[in-house]
């Protein structure tokens, strides 16, 4: 099991200005940007920041998740987390980039685990 990247989540209503700011702040270009139409959001990755943009209503279910872990296998982490007392809040599901699940760790921190699909 490998955590490939840890992304700090930033929820906003307007994505373009936020991407521009974080590109200048980190001196890195946006490496991934896509729409998640099913939930009314647009997402972008700039360095170690995950920008999540949408209406206040669309953002509500995503605000309580504090961090995103990009991992090599969501299934392996699900097994590990179940064996170690974590609570699966949203089971593994397909998302535009591959698969994700949302988990509450024993300390109460809510984490999204994402496995990008193999291209």
Pairing of strands 67-71, 3-12: antiparallel
Q: Give the model's pLDDT for residue 13.
A: 95
Summarised one tens digit per residue, pLDDT across range 21-46 is 999 999 999 999 999 888 899 999 99
> What is the pTM (predicted TM-score) of this model?
0.85
Domains of the chain, residue spans? 3-116
Query: What is the structure's pLDDT at 97?
Result: 87
Integer angstrom CA distances of residue 91 from 29, 55, 82, 101, 115: 32, 24, 11, 5, 13
The whole-number pLDDT of residue 82 equals 95
Domain 3-116 has CATH 3.40.50.300: no
State the pLDDT at residue 119: 55
For the chain, 119 residues long, the average pLDDT of each consecutive 10-residue run is: 94 96 96 91 95 94 92 96 96 92 95 87
């Amino acid at each position: 099991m490998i955590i490939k990247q840890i992304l700090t989540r930033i929820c906003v209503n307007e994505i373009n200005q936020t991407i521009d700011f974080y590109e200048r702040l980190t001196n890195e270009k946006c490496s991934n940007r896509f729409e998640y139409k099913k939930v009314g959001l647009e997402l972008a990755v700039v360095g170690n920041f995950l920008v999540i943009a949408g209406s206040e209503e669309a953002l509500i279910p995503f605000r309580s998740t504090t961090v995103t872990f990009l991992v090599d296998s969501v299934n392996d982490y699900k097994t590990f987390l179940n064996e170690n007392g974590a609570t699966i809040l949203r089971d593994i599901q397909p998302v535009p980039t591959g698969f994700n699940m949302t988990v509450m760790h024993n300390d109460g921190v809510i984490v999204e685990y994402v496995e990008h699909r193999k291209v």
